[in-house]
Chain A
Amino acid sequence: MSAFRLEVRNTVKDSRGKTRLNRLKADGYKVEAVWTADLYTINKEFSPDEKEKIGIMLTNPIFEVFSVDKLTAPQDFDYVIETGFLPGVTDNVGHTAREGIEDLLHVKFDTPNENVHSSVITYLKGGLSREDVQVIAESLVNPLIQRINVKSKEAFEKDGMEIVVPKVSISEKSGADEVNLDISDEALIKLGKLGIENEDGTRRGPLALRLSYLKVIQDYFKKEGRKPTDVEIESIAQTWSEHCKHTIFRDPMDEIKDGIYKHYIKAATNKIRQDKGDKDFCVSVFTDNSGGIVFDEDHIITDKAETHNSPSALDPFGGAVTGIVGVNRDTLGFGMGAKPIINRYGYCFGNPQDKTPLYRGKDKTNKALTPRQIMDGVVLGVNAGGNQSGIPCPQGWAYFEDRYRGKPLVFVGTIGLMPNEINGKPSWEKGAKSGDKIVNIGGYVGMDGIHGATFSSEALDTGSPVTAVQIGDPITQKKLSDAIAKEARDKGLYNSITDNGAGGISCSVAEMAKECGGCEVELEKVKTKYANLSPWQIWISESQERMTLAVPPEKLDQFMDLMKRRGVEAYTMGTFTDSGRCKVTFHGETVMDLDMEFLHEGLPREQQHTTYTRPKHKVPDFECPKNLSETLKKMLARNNLCSYEYISIQYDHEVQASSCIKPLHGKGRVNGPASVTVPLLGKRRGIVASQGINPRYSDLDTYHMAACAIDTAIRNAVSVGGNIDHMALMDNFCWCSSNEAERLGQLKEAARACYEVTTAMGTPFISGKDSMFNDFSGFDENGNPVKISVPPTLLVSSIGVIEDVNHCQTMDNKLAGDLLYIIGETKNELGGSEYFHMHDKIGATVPEVDTKLALDRYKRFYKACQKDLMSSTASVSLGGLGIALSKMAIAGRLGMEIDLRKVPAIDVKRDDYLLFSESQMRFTVTVDPNKKADFEKRMPDAKLIGKVRDDQKFVITGLGGKTIIDASVSDLETSYKKTFKDY
Chain B
Amino acid sequence: MAKPKALILSGYGINCEEETAYAFQKYGANPEIVHVNDLIDGLKKFEDYQILAIPGGFAYGDDTGAGKAMANRIANNLREAVLKFVQKDKLAIGICNGFQVLTALGLAPALDDQYGERQSGLMANDNNRYTCRWVHLKTGSKKCVWTKGVERLYIPIAHGEGYFYMPEEKVKELQTNDQVVFTYTKEDGSPAGGEYPYNPNGSILDIAGICDGSGRVLGLMPHPERHLFFHNHPDFTLLKEKYLREDEALPQEGEGGKVFKNAVNYFSG
Binding site for B on A (CB under 8 A): 10, 12-13, 15-16, 18-19, 38, 57-58, 60-64, 92-93, 95-97, 99-100, 103-104, 383, 387-390, 473-475, 478-479, 482, 565-567, 649-657, 659-662, 664, 666-667, 678, 681-682, 684, 805-806, 808-810, 812, 814-815, 868, 871-872, 928, 930
Contacts and interface: CB of A to CB of B under 8 A. Distances in A.
Interface centre among A58, A104, A655, A808, by most B CB within 10 Å?
A655
A60 B223 contact: no
A964 B50 CA distance: 67
Contacts of A92: 61, 63
Contact of B15 (A653, A655, A662): A655
A104 B12 CA distance: 17
A566 B63 contact: no
Given A99-B69, A565-B35, A62 B165 contact: yes
Contacts of A18: 128
B123 A10 contact: yes
Interface in B212-259: 223, 225-226, 228-232, 234-238, 240-242, 244-245, 250
Contacts of A566: 11, 35, 37
A815 B241 contact: yes
Contacts of B124: 13, 15-16
B130 A19 contact: no
A654 B156 contact: yes
B176 interface: no
B72 interface: yes
Contacts of B125: 15
Contact of A96 (B37, B60, B130, B228): B60
B72 A805 contact: no
B184 to A, nearest CB: 16
Contacts of B230: 806
Contact of B119 (A62, A666, A682): A62
A659 B226 contact: yes
Interface stretch (B18-26, B83-91, B137-145): B18-26
A60 B63 contact: no
Contacts of B156: 654
Contacts of A389: 15, 58
Interface in B1-31: 10-13, 15-16, 18-19, 22-23, 26
B232 A13 contact: no
Interface string B53-64: 000111011111
Given A655-B16, A810-B237, A928-B245, A475 B60 contact: yes
Contacts of A38: 64
Nearest to B134: A654
B241 A928 contact: yes
A685 to B, nearest CB: 11
A383 B37 CA distance: 28
A96 B64 contact: yes
A129 to B, nearest CB: 27
A651 B125 CA distance: 15
Contacts of A678: 229, 231
A12 B123 contact: yes
Contacts of B77: 103
Contacts of B133: 649
B232 A103 contact: no
Contacts of B69: 96, 99-100
B259 to A, nearest CB: 13
Contacts of B189: none
Nearest to A805: B231
Given A13-B124, A99-B60, A656-B18, 13 more contacts: A13-B163, A60-B65, A62-B121, A97-B64, A100-B73, A388-B58, A390-B16, A565-B35, A565-B41, A654-B223, A667-B235, A814-B238, A815-B242
Contacts of A654: 132, 156, 158, 223, 226, 232
B38 interface: yes
A13 B245 contact: no
Nearest to B201: A15
Nearest to A683: B229
A810 B234 CA distance: 10
Interface of B: 10-13, 15-16, 18-19, 22-23, 26, 35, 37-38, 41, 56-58, 60-65, 68-69, 72-73, 76-77, 104, 118-121, 123-133, 156, 158, 163, 165-167, 202, 223, 225-226, 228-232, 234-238, 240-242, 244-245, 250
Interface centre among A12, A38, A872, by most B CB within 10 Å?
A12
20 contacts: A15-B127, A60-B65, A63-B165, A100-B69, A100-B73, A475-B63, A479-B11, A566-B35, A650-B129, A655-B15, A655-B19, A657-B22, A660-B236, A681-B22, A681-B26, A806-B240, A814-B238, A815-B241, A815-B242, A928-B245
Nearest to A96: B63
Contacts of B26: 681-682
Contacts of A930: 245
A566 B125 CA distance: 31
A651 B242 CA distance: 30
A806 B118 contact: no
Given A565-B38, A657-B22, A61 B237 contact: no
B233 to A, nearest CB: 9
Contact of A388 (B61, B76, B226, B250): B61
B22 A682 contact: yes
B58 A387 contact: yes
Contacts of B232: 654, 657, 659-660
Contact of A62 (B12, B131, B166): B166
Q: Which 8 A-B pairs have the closest CB atoms?
A: A390-B15, A96-B63, A657-B19, A62-B121, A15-B124, A475-B61, A19-B128, A15-B128
A93 B72 contact: no
Contacts of A810: 237
A341 B22 CA distance: 16
A662 B235 CA distance: 10
B13 A479 contact: yes
A478 B235 CA distance: 32
Given A93-B63, A660-B232, A812 B237 contact: yes
A567 B12 contact: yes
Interface centre among A10, A388, A809, by most B CB within 10 Å?
A388
A652 B158 contact: yes
Contacts of B244: 868, 928
A657 B26 CA distance: 13
B86 to A, nearest CB: 19
B36 to A, nearest CB: 9
Contacts of A809: 237
B39 to A, nearest CB: 11
Nearest to B117: A61
Contacts of B240: 806, 868
Contacts of A814: 237-238, 241
A368 to B, nearest CB: 26
Contacts of A388: 13, 58, 61-62
Nearest to A61: B118
Contacts of B166: 62
A650 B232 CA distance: 18
A515 B77 CA distance: 44
B226 A657 contact: yes
A435 B74 CA distance: 40
B174 to A, nearest CB: 13
Contact of B118 (A62, A95, A653, A660): A62
Nearest to B60: A96
Contact of A655 (B72, B158, B229, B250): B158
A478 B68 contact: no
Contacts of B238: 666, 812, 814
A650 B226 contact: no
A659 B133 CA distance: 12
A63 B123 contact: yes
A812 B128 CA distance: 30
Contact of B13 (A475, A655, A657, A662): A475
Contacts of B235: 666-667
A870 to B, nearest CB: 10
Interface centre among B64, B120, B130, B165, by most A CB within 10 Å?
B64
